[in-house]
Structure 1
Amino acid sequence: MAVPGSEGRAAGPAAGDALWAEVRALLPGTEEGLTLALSGEVDDCVQPLLRRARRLLYGAEGRPREAAALGRIGDVLRDYSWEKLNAGPWREVSKAWRQVYTYGCLFGALAQVAAGHPLAAAVRLCDLGLLMGASVLDNVLARLVRVLQGRMPRAAAGRAERARAEPPPAPAVPPEDALPHLRCPSLEHFRDNYLIPQKPVVLEGIIDHWPCMKKWSVDYFCQVAGCRTVPVELGSRYTDEEWSQKLMTVSDFINQYIVNQNSVGYLAQHQLFDQIPELKEDISIPDYCCLGEGEEDEITINAWFGPKGTISPLHQDPQQNFLAQVFGRKYIRLYSPQDSENLYPHESHILHNTSQVDVEDPDLIKFPNFRKAAFQSCVLMPGQVLFIPVKYWHYVRSLDISFSVSFWWS
């Protein structure tokens, strides 16, 4: 475990100067080189603040003498742009305001480093910018956070309450309900027999070469990403009334929800691999995605990390899906889109792709036609990849501490 109070503070003036020099080297060499370009119009008061922050950065040899003033400008930029980011639907938020938010995070993080403060606060600001902002200066926040993280002590998952109970028995999957399994099919065989007819299948042997299959564990995540701030879903399923989201560090998430299991929390992250490139280096896009119509950079890669008992209610997605199981096991049921009327989707627009039925404990008085819906199921084991065709309904329950990677493609 990290020693309390050792959250990456520089060991002394010399160490602090060396870190600042490394951080400063990530920025353009001259004040004019830091262009402060935005991808659209913003309020007139913003540009003077950006230019003032730039002068503070370049106005002195070595570290800026007015780190506190730089930090205050960062605070103002973040607070002001935060209102714009939350004024309406996310898809309508201007990229320019997201860039302003990123500059606010950048200046705040630089001020923390320049003042010699513990690095945890600077790392958090970088992560907030990566999560909510838009890239500036050749994605400087991603480069900055890698430098800062390298100076942070590596955390380890706590063990005081870490029980090593025997894993629960997997639910029985009758042969007549079992999904087919296929080992390393050719692209043509997969396309002709599963992709074109839209039939789900469990693929084996196609991710055995991924480095994550040997490297990843709960402790590994704590060491590689423990200090990073990520959004965590709180609650066993997103349809529960008490479900919510919270930002916390990976190490806090692991110790609270994975190790001690005080309640159910789930790291379901659409940006994790962009935010933490070290993890993205341990996986690769399945070759079968090349059969799609989109480009590789249009494939969405998602991370799903959580404790035993986490549930994704029966729902459908608008794209093809490869769900790759890295560690732990998941019980999964699939229903054809042809059975949609028997699955009672929610009537609200937000949850129209989610069934009202509790799959493993259905209320057949309230939802009588659910008994007519035929399903297939499997227990997805480490190293297996489930192909879920577009619009196929699927229900997922984690049987163990589990990490999965999904690829959404068209």
Structure 2
Amino acid sequence: MAGGPEGLRDALWDALLALLPPTKEELKLDLGEEVDRGTVLLLQQAAELFLGGRRGECLQASEAVLDHAWEKLNAGPWQDVGKAWRQAYAFGCLLKTLCLCQPPREATAVSAALRVCDMGLLMGAAILGDILIRVAAVLQAHLVSGKRPDRSPGQELPSTKKARCDHDAAPDVQLERAVPRLRCPSLQHFQKHFLVPGRPVVLEGVADHWPCMKKWSVDYVREVAGCRTVPVEVGSRYTDKNWSQTLMTVSEFISKYIESEVRDVGYLAQHQLFDQIPELKHDIGVPDYCCLGSGEEEEITINAWFGPAGTVSPLHQDPQQNFLAQVMGRKYIRLYSPQDSEALYPHETHLLHNTSQVDVENPDLEKFPRFAEAPFLSCVLAPGEILFIPVKHWHYVRALDLSFSVSFWWS
């Protein structure tokens, strides 16, 4: 497929063109009736301009699509955003990415294009056989191959910095009721004694063979993901008034929140990181016990949790079964049965109805008197260990060290 005048191609450009559908007709999207006709026509026009090699006009048209789609994506609750509008946004990101990379291009064009591509992956929906994942992989490989934009004079190389060694005090879990521990139980034993009755358990030895257990470090994460744009939670916990979310590259996150001497707290909590960056996904496995669920393996949601010591997930519950695998650092975790929900004082608002109002390790017992009577289990989860959190079980999590965890939500 032509995407510009002959003679302007290079290795990156050819690699990107090779990812596109072979015919003009296959480049079109069927967005149904949800997306207004004006936006559909603008998308078609942008595609025609790209195919005609009219880069500047295509860039303008794709940005107009992105502006319109962005308004729709942010007009109300995320769950109410239709898939077609997310696909329109992703298609606009694809065309803008291609326009930025078409030769002759500026020195910073590939980095800018990768940011656009990541926005399409974060906010859009899959199009053309998940083409944005493959485009992002090509762009990242180009940057990693040594063609990154020059750093400004005097800027320190990231690899010369060391992660700060934060350690938060862990409660004495021996004084508390500990979560039981098992080493590689059989599927039948796990199902009978833990899955069916809904009992938490720490599984040892299950993840020992995962490559991440030996490979992952701050430097490794930066090496394979540093140039990728991700959402970052700013603040120690999402119930704080000053909590917010922002977008930055993984390298920027590591420099600001992992290596900085300033005690700012930022947390990379990402539901799409492993789709964005397949190199990381290849380093983990899916616990065999997930096969006991009713869904397919493709329906398992894999989440990344990466941040400094002191980050907290307030006491909350999730609507699915959860395996929390610890890769780097330790976490203190406390669990409460859903039968004791009333004693945990859930927020009354719909947005936070699955989150407790109680500060678990510093509770206001005058305001929440029944909390003191609620029984709980606790553990310190160390690297290589996996905690089974049954569906609807309340859990509170505090990172004791620089931590990277992977969770698997399944039904």
Partner of 2:76: 88
Name the CA distance, whole Å, in 1 between partners of 2:31 and 2:339: 47
1:138 matched to 2:139 = no
Partner of 2:192: 192
1:58 matched to 2:47 = no
Name the CA distance, whole Å, in 1 between partners of 2:7 and 2:248: 31
1:34 matched to 2:27 = yes
Closer, same or farther in 2 for the Cα pair 1:103/1:391, shift >3 Å?
same
Gaps of 5+ in 1: 1-12
SS in 2 for 1:233: strand
Partner of 2:272: 271
Residue type of the alignment partner of 1:198? G
Name the CA distance, whole Å, in 2 between partners of 1:39 and 1:191: 44
Could you tell me whether the CA contact under 8 Å between 2:332 and 2:381 is conserved in 1? yes
When the two chains are superposed, the root-mean-square deviation of aligned CA atoms in Å is: 2.0
Could you tell me whether the CA contact under 8 Å between 2:168 and 2:399 is conserved in 1? no
SS in 2 for 1:254: helix
- Aligned positions of 1:2-401 closer than 5 A: 17-59=10-52, 64=53, 66-114=54-102, 115-117=104-106, 118=108, 119-153=110-144, 157-160=158-161, 162-164=163-165, 167-168=167-168, 170-174=170-174, 177-260=177-260, 262=262, 263-401=264-402
Name the CA distance, whole Å, in 1 between partners of 2:7 and 2:291: 51
Closer, same or farther in 2 for the Cα pair 1:188/1:24, shift >3 Å?
same
| Corresponding pairs, count | 392
Partner of 2:152: none
Residue type of the alignment partner of 2:131? V
Could you tell me whether the CA contact under 8 Å between 1:158 and 1:255 is conserved in 2? no
My pick for the range that moved more, 346-355 or 198-207, is: 346-355
Could you tell me whether the CA contact under 8 Å between 1:314 and 1:396 is conserved in 2? yes
Name the CA distance, whole Å, in 2 between partners of 1:181 and 1:213: 19
SS in 1 for 2:172: coil
Name the CA distance, whole Å, in 2 between partners of 1:69 and 1:203: 57
Closer, same or farther in 2 for the Cα pair 1:354/1:331, shift >3 Å?
same
SS in 2 for 1:230: strand
SS in 1 for 2:133: helix
Deviation of residue 326 (structure 1)?
0.6
Deviation of residue 169 (structure 1)?
5.1
Could you tell me whether the CA contact under 8 Å between 1:194 and 1:201 is conserved in 2? yes
Gaps of 5+ in 2: 1-5, 149-156
Could you give the per-residue CA deviations for residues 60-79 of structure 1, whole angstroms, max 9, x where no partner exists?
A: xxxx3x32222111110100
Deviation of residue 158 (structure 1)?
4.9
Name the CA distance, whole Å, in 1 between partners of 2:8 and 2:239: 49
Could you tell me whether the CA contact under 8 Å between 1:157 and 1:259 is conserved in 2? no
Residue type of the alignment partner of 1:131? L
Name the CA distance, whole Å, in 1 between partners of 2:56 and 2:21: 22
SS in 2 for 1:357: coil
Partner of 1:9: none
Could you give the per-residue CA deviations for residues 210-240 of structure 1, whole angstroms, max 9, x where no partner exists?
A: 1111111111111101111111111000000
Name the CA distance, whole Å, in 2 between partners of 1:76 and 1:69: 11
Name the CA distance, whole Å, in 2 between partners of 1:404 and 1:198: 22
Name the CA distance, whole Å, in 1 between partners of 2:128 and 2:28: 8
* TM-score normalised by structure 2 residue count: 0.91
Closer, same or farther in 2 for the Cα pair 1:47/1:110, shift >3 Å?
same
SS in 1 for 2:27: coil
Closer, same or farther in 2 for the Cα pair 1:15/1:158, shift >3 Å?
farther
Deviation of residue 179 (structure 1)?
1.2
Name the CA distance, whole Å, in 1 between partners of 2:117 and 2:401: 32
Residue type of the alignment partner of 2:105? G
Name the CA distance, whole Å, in 1 between partners of 2:8 and 2:229: 25
Could you tell me whether the CA contact under 8 Å between 1:230 and 1:247 is conserved in 2? yes
Residue type of the alignment partner of 1:340? S
Name the CA distance, whole Å, in 2 between partners of 1:337 and 1:41: 39
Residue type of the alignment partner of 2:44? R
Residue type of the alignment partner of 1:94? G
Partner of 1:408: 409
Partner of 2:154: none
Could you tell me whether the CA contact under 8 Å between 1:261 and 1:307 is conserved in 2? no
Residue type of the alignment partner of 1:110? L
My pick for the range that moved more, 302-311 or 156-165, is: 156-165
Closer, same or farther in 2 for the Cα pair 1:266/1:163, shift >3 Å?
closer
Name the CA distance, whole Å, in 2 between partners of 1:294 and 1:186: 20
